[in-house]
Amino acid sequence: MMTHVVMLTGAAGFVGRHTVDEARKRGHKVCAVVRSAKNIPKSWENDAGIVIVVCDLATDTAVLGSALNNVDSVIHIAASLSGDDTVQQRDTIKATENILAGIEEQSKPVHLVLASTISVYDTMSVRTGGIVDEQTKLEPNAAKRDAYCRAKLLQETICRNANIAKLSILRIGAVFGRGRIWNSHIGIGIGPVLLRIGGQGELPLCYVRHCAKALVLAVENPAAVVNVVDDNLPDRATFIADLQKTGWSKIVVPLSWKLLDLLALAARPLPVSLPGLLRRPVLHARMKPLKYSNARLHKQLGWTPDCSFEQAMQEAKQ
């Protein structure tokens, strides 16, 4: 296996730290880009294979450009997971534009691995119980989705339009692991109560170590677009039953998926800004009973899971 020099943005984040570990385990040298020196893990300081760069990707273009020298690949994870369009424009879009500009200025080809999201798909176009894969259409009406989805759709577009040698887009599911179990596909949490919207359909989960492994494999085996979700995905009811073993939620109130979809349909003409789950594109993306294929993840990246869902959940709950 060829050794790469890999720049990792968002390196000190939840996914980033695991990806740094995976890259080092596989023998790659890492340029770990972090926004604040306060978040640097102690273990990195004694690793000669990790160069730490403190850089605000949205503003520190000179620092970023210098750090890109001699880099073979960039795994671009840094993005805002929340916030309105203004926040997303700065932390996701502007940061990505600066990375692309820096890559284009390099004297040698640099491979960009973009950590995107499975939420960019148009699940309104998929029948209930259908399969979401890389052939599923992208969301055509971004204005009806949340700011995060809009930003990731635009981020993918500007990456595809950039003048770079190689681009791999990994559309990652809901990442979970120790310290992070909750995701927007589970339901609505109100204090000790969880409103479970339907019980069927797979949750598009990805254990954090599996996500990290896929990102590093994409450096070694460039691919165009790959969905990153685990094998043997649990349905919503199974996941929530497992979640309850942690002591939350104490009360689960099941709601009919079809009823909520009808309510969202009826509310569509109202001249007011509706909550996310009363906007059908958002509701379908988060709660529609669907299945998710990871066949291309196995075939193109050679990915295999390190553990089962049960083992991953056991670790996540610790």
Selection from 13, 17, 6, 96 nearest residue 57 by Cα: 96
In tens digits, the chain (318 residues) has pLDDT values of 689 999 999 999 999 999 999 999 999 999 999 999 998 999 999 999 999 999 999 999 999 999 999 999 999 999 998 889 999 999 999 999 999 999 999 999 999 999 999 999 999 999 999 999 999 999 999 999 999 999 999 999 999 999 999 999 999 999 999 989 999 999 888 888 998 998 899 999 999 999 999 999 999 999 999 999 999 999 998 999 888 888 877 789 999 999 999 999 998 887 667 787 888 999 999 999 999 999 999 999 999 999 999 999 999 988
pTM above 0.85, yes or no: yes
- Whole-number pLDDT of residue 236: 92
Radius of gyration of the chain (CA): 20
Structure-derived torsion over alpha carbons of residues 126, 129, 131, 132, reported in degrees to the nearest 10: 60
With residue 43 as reference, give the H or E element that holds it.
helix 42-45
Residue appearing with tokens 């007011």: 272
- Ramachandran angles phi, psi of 139, nearest 5°: -60, 120
Q: Does domain 5-181+204-232+292-308 have CATH number 3.40.50.720?
A: yes
- Whole-number pLDDT of residue 295: 99
Return the bridge partners of 8, or none: 32, 75
What the block records as the tokens of 41 is: 């893990």
Question: What does the domain layout of the chain look like in residue ranges?
Answer: 5-181+204-232+292-308
Q: Are 237 and 289 in contact (CB under 8 A)?
A: no
- Whole-number pLDDT of residue 269: 82
- Whole-number pLDDT of residue 248: 77
